[in-house]
A and B are shown apart, each in its own frame.
Chain A
Amino acid sequence: MSVPIRRRRLAAIALASVAMIATTSACGSDDEGSGSSDDPIKLVVDVFGDQGFGYDELYKQFESEHPNIKIEQRGKGLGLGDYNTRLTQQITAGAGAGDVVALEEGTIVQFYAQAGKFVNLADHGANDLKSNFLPWKWEQGTTPDGTVLGLGTDVGSMALCYRSDLFKAAGLPTDREEVGALWPTWDQFIAAGQKFVAADKKHKFVDSATNFYNVVLMQTAGNGTGYTYYDKSNKLVIGENPDVRTAYDLSTKMIAAGLSNNLQSFSNEWNAGFKNGTFATIACPAWMTGVIKGQAGDSAAGKWDVAKAPGNGGNWGGSFLAVPKSSKHPKEAAELVKFLTSAKGQIEAFKKVGNLPSSPQALTDPAVADSTNEYFTNAPVGKIFAAGASDLKPVYLGPKNQAVRTAVENTLRAVEQGKPAAEQWEAALKNGEAAGK
């Protein structure tokens, strides 16, 4: 009978389907070979954050200079936590990451241990660009053994953003010089807050204890030990580092004064807080200006302003661009990284989303130094942020910084929810220890 023939045919179909499953699962995202420089090339850039990195114009420019290259960006709108989880898996697996990936200040140390999975940008002439970056920024992007892991994009710097309309209603000064003069120290900042909440029962003074805490910690550590939860030999020192305790105590004092709006940062409630204008100030690294503008929207334009932050200097956040080894076009990707992190590229990103350049040339460029931000009542943001950035002292963040930070932040949220501060400090030590294990 004819059955055996049919069987064979079916067997062939079965085999074909198995082969198909095998090939589809083996198939990567893009398989263009790296042949001559005229072959069409697609470069994928992975970024994070609701505002992205403000690179759209720069991509177009790069594409027009390299007609064979197309750039695709992924990750805009993705939170840093989710982004970093995914990136860690992709880097460890050696597949799936973009040709260019963004690494945040708090997470880049984690990738030092995996430096072998990244292209050493020194092989693509990055060392010649050393003077293009603030020395401490360059240092953060380089592993202890000298591999250039990433080139700096922006730095956080530090200022304080405030709602001048709410300040006025509460009888506080509104001029940014006078506002800055209100709080030479954080204690005076809290005192100003107490005046504010006494006059205005409807609004809170600060968005959340955790943002306040991070800013104070980074500033205190910058002026003090130079590290936070981990010392420079990667030993956990949450309890031993006096800077952590100082920042923690200031935060609990601020909560006890009833200044916090108790909003979990980057949560839906926090976003809604900007829209509904439920708090009057927020600690403002340069990138936060983009967040405020994005979340508070046009209706709040002109209500926000920027003043000098209490204390002295400080930095929170800022990123790097790196090229994973899994990239099929490391040469072109490295070119793109150099282009995006050039002084020109950083100035463009600053104009788009307010990320403060990490390049000294860009910082002194009139486009940055003399810039004002229309949304923030034409505040001279360039002057305010750039002033602090040049003489910043770097703060070393350990490999599991993010995990420990979350554990400590959670205890501050518990204090906001009414738990005793002393008990929560003990919990911070214990949970931080467990998270950093």
Chain B
Amino acid sequence: MSLDLHTTAPPGGGGDPARPARATHRRPASFTKLDLKFSPYLYVLPFFVIFAVFSAYPIVYTVWIALTDRSPLNATISFVGLDNFVELLTDDPQFWNAVVNTFGIFLLSTVPQLMLALVLANALNRKLRAQTFFRMAIAMPIITSTAVVALIFSMIYAKEFGLANWLLDLVGMDPIDWRANRFASWFAISTMVDWRWVGYNALIYLAAMQSISKDMYEAAALDGASRRRQFWSITIPQLRPTIIFTLIVSTIGGLQLFTEPLMFTSGAGALSGGSEGQFQTITMYLLDVMNTRFRWGYAGAVALVLFLLIALVSLVNYLLARRISSDK
């Protein structure tokens, strides 16, 4: 718009301003008024159209479908009220198994991930040789596709000829069937998640650390505070908003974990997440219900409960993180 105004700015000045003025007067006044009133809405319309089609409508539709028994196998759709939710919460051990798995993997991946990211960021915040190289390097994994990461890691954790079992063998331990054992599968999936996201979080922490005033560290150093003391008493409290941010983002990502556990097995029935659902997450269960059992209404209920769970956990995270600095 500004470009337009510039190009039409009269180069010579003089009598030119009169011309555009006449142009406006030629139009009926009411049209101009309408134009002024509605054009702005038109400008922002594209966003809202896209939002309505791709976000608002699906959300509303999910709520509606969750109250029905919709399925491609049913000729008619009937309204079942809250039946889907009642079944889900009271009579569905597979769903609760998926909830446990999701939270287990979430804790097992997020806690070390954020701690490691803090330590890494702290290390990179000092003066280092080839600083930019290291800072770039830790962020590299984020640009690799999740599918590729999952594929390579599932080879590392292969039962036979896998790198992980080879290493275990080197130190004299028995090989592990990573997909059969519940905790082993959680561990394997967590390493995939962490490999990808530690660097990302470290970079965010690093950016936040750089904005902490150097004066505080100097003052603390004068008072005789050790490096470690400075880290706990200055860096961590100052990072509070950033930690809350990364916690919430990790929570949303962790509770929606899908590609890594899905790609951990290949072939028929990968959505089941292991022979006994050892690593079936909520999103995998959702798709299992929707695409292999064709219970679309029920899948809608699973999606809504997942949404509520994420909201709940984010709130808990927020409350916990708020205490970090007030404790110190």
Q: Could you tell me the distance between the alpha carbons of A412 and B8 in the complex, rounded to whole angstroms?
A: 76
12 extra interface residue pairs, beta carbon distance < 8 Å, beyond A400-B292, A434-B92: A4-B27, A5-B24, A8-B35, A10-B43, A11-B43, A80-B268, A81-B269, A267-B265, A406-B272, A410-B277, A418-B180, A436-B293
Per-position 1/0 for A259-278, Cβ under 8 A of B:
00010111111100000000
Identify which of residues 1-31 in chain A touch chain B, using a CB-to-CB cut-off of 8 Å: 1-11, 14-15, 17-18, 21-22, 25
State whether the Cβ of B267 lies closer than 8 Å to any Cβ in chain A.
Answer: yes
Q: A18-B46, A18-B49, A402-B292 are in contact. Are A266 and B268 (CB under 8 A)?
A: yes
Distance between A91 CB and nearest chain B CB, rounded to angstroms: 7
Per-position 1/0 for B279-315, Cβ under 8 A of A:
0000000000001111100000000000000000000
Q: Could you tell me the distance between the alpha carbons of A88 and B287 in the complex, rounded to whole angstroms?
A: 13
State whether the Cβ of B4 lies closer than 8 Å to any Cβ in chain A.
Answer: yes
Contact indicator A14/B46 (Cβ below 8 Å): yes
Contact indicator B39/A7 (Cβ below 8 Å): yes
Contact indicator A10/B21 (Cβ below 8 Å): no
Count of A residues near B, CB < 8 Å? 58
B-side contacts of A18, CB under 8 Å: 45-46, 49
B-side contacts of A92, CB under 8 Å: 72
State whether the Cβ of B172 lies closer than 8 Å to any Cβ in chain A.
Answer: no
29 contacts between A and B (CB under 8 A): A2-B5, A2-B24, A4-B35, A4-B36, A7-B35, A7-B36, A9-B4, A10-B1, A14-B43, A15-B42, A22-B49, A79-B268, A81-B292, A210-B268, A264-B265, A267-B266, A267-B268, A269-B158, A269-B266, A269-B267, A270-B267, A402-B292, A403-B292, A410-B275, A410-B276, A417-B177, A417-B179, A434-B94, A435-B293
A residues contacting B by CB (< 8 A) are 1-11, 14-15, 17-18, 21-22, 25, 79-81, 85, 88, 91-92, 110, 113-114, 210, 262, 264-270, 399-400, 402-403, 406-407, 409-411, 413-414, 416-419, 427, 431, 434-437
Identify which of residues 185-239 in chain B touch chain A, using a CB-to-CB cut-off of 8 Å: none
A-side contacts of B154, CB under 8 Å: 268
A-side contacts of B276, CB under 8 Å: 410-411, 414, 419, 427
In the A-B complex, the 5 residue pairs with the smallest Cβ-Cβ separation, listed nearest first, are A267-B267, A417-B180, A413-B275, A2-B20, A414-B275
Q: Pick the residue among B1, B177, B265, B291 that contacts A6 (CB under 8 A).
A: B1
Q: Could you tell me the distance between the alpha carbons of A414 and B1 in the complex, rounded to whole angstroms?
A: 65
Contact indicator B72/A81 (Cβ below 8 Å): no
Contact indicator B295/A409 (Cβ below 8 Å): no
Distance between B124 CB and nearest chain A CB, rounded to angstroms: 37
Q: Could you tell me the distance between the alpha carbons of A375 and B299 in the complex, rounded to whole angstroms?
A: 46
Q: Could you tell me the distance between the alpha carbons of A435 and B294 in the complex, rounded to whole angstroms?
A: 10
B-side contacts of A264, CB under 8 Å: 265-269
Q: Could you tell me the distance between the alpha carbons of A357 and B65 in the complex, rounded to whole angstroms?
A: 43
Q: Could you tell me the distance between the alpha carbons of A219 and B293 in the complex, rounded to whole angstroms?
A: 25
Contact indicator A110/B73 (Cβ below 8 Å): yes
State whether the Cβ of B74 lies closer than 8 Å to any Cβ in chain A.
Answer: yes
Distance between A329 CB and nearest chain B CB, rounded to angstroms: 24
State whether the Cβ of B170 lies closer than 8 Å to any Cβ in chain A.
Answer: no
Contact indicator B46/A21 (Cβ below 8 Å): yes
A-side contacts of B293, CB under 8 Å: 400, 403, 435-437
Distance between A27 CB and nearest chain B CB, rounded to angstroms: 15
Q: Could you tell me the distance between the alpha carbons of A19 and B259 in the complex, rounded to whole angstroms?
A: 35
Q: Could you tell me the distance between the alpha carbons of A81 and B276 in the complex, rounded to whole angstroms?
A: 19
* Main DSSP-derived SS at the A contact region: helix
Q: Pick the residue among A2, A409, A418 that contacts B268 (CB under 8 A).
A: A409
Identify which of residues 144-200 in chain B touch chain A, using a CB-to-CB cut-off of 8 Å: 154, 158-159, 177, 179-180
Distance between A210 CB and nearest chain B CB, rounded to angstroms: 8
B-side contacts of A10, CB under 8 Å: 1, 4, 39, 43
Q: Could you tell me the distance between the alpha carbons of A231 and B1 in the complex, rounded to whole angstroms?
A: 69
Q: Could you tell me the distance between the alpha carbons of A419 and B292 in the complex, rounded to whole angstroms?
A: 25
State whether the Cβ of B32 lies closer than 8 Å to any Cβ in chain A.
Answer: yes
Contact indicator B20/A5 (Cβ below 8 Å): yes
Name the residue on B nearest A25 (C-beta): B53
Distance between A150 CB and nearest chain B CB, rounded to angstroms: 17
State whether the Cβ of B137 lies closer than 8 Å to any Cβ in chain A.
Answer: no
Q: Pick the residue among A8, A21, A270 that contacts B49 (CB under 8 A).
A: A21
Contact indicator A268/B269 (Cβ below 8 Å): no
Q: Could you tell me the distance between the alpha carbons of A8 and B94 in the complex, rounded to whole angstroms?
A: 58
Contact indicator A265/B23 (Cβ below 8 Å): no
A-side contacts of B277, CB under 8 Å: 410
B-side contacts of A91, CB under 8 Å: 72
Q: Could you tell me the distance between the alpha carbons of A17 and B20 in the complex, rounded to whole angstroms?
A: 27
Identify which of residues 3-23 in chain B touch chain A, using a CB-to-CB cut-off of 8 Å: 4-5, 8, 20-21, 23
State whether the Cβ of B50 lies closer than 8 Å to any Cβ in chain A.
Answer: yes
State whether the Cβ of B75 lies closer than 8 Å to any Cβ in chain A.
Answer: yes
B-side contacts of A431, CB under 8 Å: 94
Q: Could you tell me the distance between the alpha carbons of A91 and B71 in the complex, rounded to whole angstroms?
A: 12
Distance between A14 CB and nearest chain B CB, rounded to angstroms: 5
Per-position 1/0 for B44-69, Cβ under 8 A of A:
01100110010000000000000000
Q: Could you tell me the distance between the alpha carbons of A413 and B154 in the complex, rounded to whole angstroms?
A: 18
B-side contacts of A435, CB under 8 Å: 292-293
A-side contacts of B27, CB under 8 Å: 4
Contact indicator B42/A11 (Cβ below 8 Å): yes
Name the residue on A nearest B269 (C-beta): A406
Q: Could you tell me the distance between the alpha carbons of A17 and B45 in the complex, rounded to whole angstroms?
A: 10
